[in-house]
Amino acid sequence: MKRTPAFYGLFSLVVLAALLFRVSGLELRPMHHDEANQAVKFGSLLEEGQYCYDPTQHHGPSLYYLTLPFAWIGSGTSFASLNEVILRLVPAVFGAGIILLLLLLKDGFSPPSLFFSGILAAVSPVMVYYSRFYIQETLLVFFLFGAIASGWRYLQERRWGWAAAAGFFSGMMFATKETCIILFAAAAVSLVLVRVLGGSPRSRENPGSKEKNAGRIPPVHLLVLAGTAIAVSILFFSSFFQNPRGILDSVLAFKTYFGRAAGAGFHTHPFPYYLKMLAFSHYGNGPVWSEALVLILALVGCAAVFANHSQSMSERLFLRFIFFFTVLATAIYSFIPYKTPWNILPFYIGIILLAGQGIVFLLSLSRKIIVQSLIILILGAGLYHLGLQSYRANFTYSTDPRNPYVYAQTSPDFIYLVQRVEDIARLHPEHKQMLIKVITHPDEAWPLPWYLRGFGKVGYWQEVEEAGPFSDVPLIISSTDKVDRLQLHLRDNYQSEYYGLRPEVLLALHIRKDLWDKFIDERTLK
Amino acid sequence: MCPRVQSSFLSISRSRPVILSRSSEGYYVELGPSVQWVQIDLGRPCSLNAVLIWHYHSQARVYRDVIVQVTDDPDFITDVQTIYNNDHDNSAGLGIGKDKEYIETNEGRLIDPRGVNGRYIRLYSRGNTSNEMNHYVEVEVYGALSK
């Protein structure tokens, strides 16, 4: 397979399939509390034009600023008319964009290898699942990939434009998630290892080449790279110079994130957490989940990196870089006690690249048609299984705890609570201006602020005693452990119901009796 | 006395009795989504003193529209007495109940039948706060043979 129009046609189909997988049914899964948190943060940027970087949470600003054009086109400037689909389109588009960026790796990977890597990235359950999640991870992977690909193009062509592009993507990585320093560290060490073990591509391939193409990088290009990266991150962290303090905060944030990495609490998981999740997961009577095919192919790809001598020297060095980077990033992420399943993405993209290389290596082992047909048949079955799992993960089991990528996910039952609130508001004279008191633990309040964004008077408290008088309050939402104390105030004047928020977490909804009776009367009449 | 158990859901055969036993802790019978019921045939009419229900005990969740009825009619058409009903919005279609929703615990839910008489006990539910399914770990019925 060469870079012919047919290759580009097939590759376009892969990107299209990836996009379809990522954008279909984005409204199906209720907003995760982390997504809701990001959405509400974005809401103030959308409506008031204000964004102020918070070094203690929410990560970097890029997600919010990149959501702006999607929101302007999809719903205008009103936060209330925004919806899940518009927000999730952002990671979905960038998720498919990762595959498009593969094309920049020409000369580093053969066209078949890029093609197979593209297919694996398009159907990988974990890649698809978190490309439909309004959090920073997919954007981080997109910018990471952009930085690596631009860096590679720079090394091939030595043009300052590619140095600037690498700087831009690196700056965007930092503006997306501060923890990108893990990836910078893995990339830097990988470059050193490649250099120590194999030299530079230009110096090996063109030992007699002139200064321009020699291994040494001109300092001005390094300045362009660093300058662009710094400029981009300053622009974003300072909210485009509206909040200069954000620049300093972006550095101070490391204290927060180092602390969080060490003392992870609920998010503490053992070293093999990520690889085990990818290799084999099975909960209760749910299906078996496995991306072992990709892992095995990546191992074959690793062997190919060192055993296959049919590639050019530059290809070999680039593959070695990807190999070292993937191994180091996987090890570092696995070593850090703080783990969330979406942190798989930054190193898994390396695994996918190696897997694509592994497929090409396997197919090159024998020229016999029957052997190649057998390999293609097995790969086809494996890809079908990955696609099937992806479908299940994103449509059938998108909120089911038996899906390994479902992590503290908001229960579909929570949507019934929102519907009930909407139903009662319809019957209240003030409609969405009726007062709602929310008395919950802080971690049990989300994603309420997102779902109640259209309501004008919503107050949040942590304790019953802090919430003021309850007489005439139409609706109260509370944590379950606050129900007994609330009951002393509410007596028989309220109808209470329970709704699932997350596994093991319930919320109680208390509806004033006159509104409840009105609701039942209306329902009976229907 | 060996009670016979039936249910509204096909996964429990109507013709094959299922014995609910305490030794089966950690296991549960799962019925599909929407309103489902299990029915216990005590063999003879009894005066009931207590009904204890465990829908689930390994997770905090609330089962919706828990309704318990008693009668001598195996088809639950005549002389049906409701001893518990927390379907406050009549979503199960069996009438509005005044009992309160409750969170499942390992202690189960004790229902006082106030001495009603009947041979058949039917327990309804309509999904729960974690998923749409209906579950039963155990049901205990206490009473004495009617004179």
Query: What is the predicted pLDDT for the residue at A473?
Result: 95
Interchain CB distance below 8 Å, A500 and B101:
no
Interchain CB distance below 8 Å, A506 and B60:
yes
Query: What is the predicted pLDDT for the residue at A243?
Result: 92
Q: What DSSP character marks residue B91?
A: T
The low-confidence residues of chain A, meaning pLDDT below 50, are 203-214
Contacts of A503 in chain B (CB under 8 A): 59, 130
Amino acid at B111: I
* Residue A498 contacts B where some CB pair is shorter than 8 Å: yes
Query: What is the predicted pLDDT for the residue at A310?
Result: 67
* Structural contact between residues A148 and A318, judged by C-beta atoms closer than 8 angstroms: no
Q: How far apart are CA A103 and CA A96, in angstroms?
A: 13
Query: What is the predicted pLDDT for the residue at A195?
Result: 87
Instruction: Note the pTM of the prediction, 2 decimals.
Output: 0.90
Query: What is the predicted pLDDT for the residue at B25?
Result: 41
Over residues B123-142, the mean pLDDT reads: 94
Contacts of B60 in chain A (CB under 8 A): 480, 504-506
Q: How far apart are CA A165 and CA A156, in angstroms?
A: 14
Count of C-beta atoms within a 10 Å radius of residue B8? 17
* Structural contact between residues A477 and A437, judged by C-beta atoms closer than 8 angstroms: yes
Over residues B56-75, the mean pLDDT reads: 93
B positions 102-131 inside 8 Å of A (CB) = 103, 128-131
Could you tell me whether strands B134-136 and B29-31 are parallel, antiparallel, or unpaired per DSSP bridges?
antiparallel
Amino acid at A296: I
* Structural contact between residues A176 and A294, judged by C-beta atoms closer than 8 angstroms: no
pLDDT tier for residue B1 given thresholds of 50, 70 and 90: low
Query: What is the predicted pLDDT for the residue at B143?
Result: 92
B positions 12-71 inside 8 Å of A (CB) = 59-62
Count of C-beta atoms within a 10 Å radius of residue A259? 12
Query: Which of B130, B132, B135 is the mutation pick for testing A, counting most A CBs within 10 A?
Result: B130
Could you tell me whether strands A435-439 and A475-479 are parallel, antiparallel, or unpaired per DSSP bridges?
parallel
The least confident of A342-356, B9-23, B72-86 is B9-23
The rounded radius of gyration (Å) of the Cα atoms in chain B is 14
| Residue that the structure tokens 């779902």 belong to | A451
Host H or E run for residue A331? helix A313-335
Interchain CB distance below 8 Å, B90 and A499:
no
- Per the structure block, which two tokens stand in for A376? 């293609």
* Residue A515 contacts B where some CB pair is shorter than 8 Å: no
Helix (H, G, I), strand (E, B) or coil at A137: helix
* Residue A411 contacts B where some CB pair is shorter than 8 Å: yes
Strand blocks (E) in A403-479: 435-439, 457-461, 475-479
Interchain CB distance below 8 Å, A520 and B89:
yes
| Cα end-to-end distance, chain A, whole Å | 64
Query: What is the predicted pLDDT for the residue at A386?
Result: 97
Task: Establish, for the pair of chains A and B, how many residue pairs have beta carbons separated by less than 8 Å.
Answer: 39
Count of C-beta atoms within a 10 Å radius of residue A271? 13
B positions 69-88 inside 8 Å of A (CB) = 88
Interchain CB distance below 8 Å, A497 and B88:
yes
Provide ipTM, 2 decimals: 0.84
Tell me the sheet residues that pair with B138.
B54
Q: How far apart are CA A380 and CA A391, in angstroms?
A: 16
Helix (H, G, I), strand (E, B) or coil at A510: strand
Q: What pLDDT digit, counting tens, does each position of A178-206 carry?
A: 989 999 999 999 999 998 887 555 544 44
pLDDT at B12 over 50: no
CA atoms within 13 A on the CB side of A369: 0
pLDDT at B11 over 50: no
* Residue A396 contacts B where some CB pair is shorter than 8 Å: no
DSSP notation for A184-214 = HHHHHHHHHHHHHHH--HHHHH-TT--GGGS
Q: How far apart are CA A452 and CA B86, in angstroms?
A: 27
pLDDT tier for residue B20 given thresholds of 50, 70 and 90: very low
Q: What DSSP character marks residue A464?
A: G
Query: What is the predicted pLDDT for the residue at A208?
Result: 46
Which string of b and e fits A82-99 if b means at least 16 CB within 10 Å?
bebbbbbbbbbbbbbbbb
Q: What pLDDT digit, counting tens, does each position of B83-114 carry?
A: 999 999 999 999 999 999 999 998 999 999 99
Interchain CB distance below 8 Å, A499 and B101:
no
Contacts of B101 in chain A (CB under 8 A): 496-498
| Residue that the structure tokens 């409750």 belong to | B102
Query: What is the predicted pLDDT for the residue at A365?
Result: 87
Q: How far apart are CA B120 and CA B75, in angstroms?
A: 9
CA dihedral B36, B42, B44, B47 (to 10 degrees): -90
Amino acid at A136: Q
Q: Which of A115, A110, A74 is nearest to A92 (CA)?
A: A74
What would the 3-class secondary structure string for A210-250 be? CHHHCCCCCHHHHHHHHHHHHHHHHHHHCCCCCCCHHHHHH
* Structural contact between residues A501 and A36, judged by C-beta atoms closer than 8 angstroms: no
- Per the structure block, which two tokens stand in for A404? 């390994």
Amino acid at B62: V
Tell me the sheet residues that pair with A111.
none
* Structural contact between residues B7 and B31, judged by C-beta atoms closer than 8 angstroms: yes
Interchain CB distance below 8 Å, A506 and B129:
yes
* Residue A427 contacts B where some CB pair is shorter than 8 Å: no
Sheet order of strands, A494-502 included: A457-461, A435-439, A475-479, A505-512, A494-502
Considering only CB atoms, B103 lies closest to which of A495, A498, A520, namely A498
Query: What is the predicted pLDDT for the residue at B2?
Result: 58
* Residue A400 contacts B where some CB pair is shorter than 8 Å: yes
Find the closest chain B residue to A497 by CA distance. Answer: B101
Helix (H, G, I), strand (E, B) or coil at B36: strand
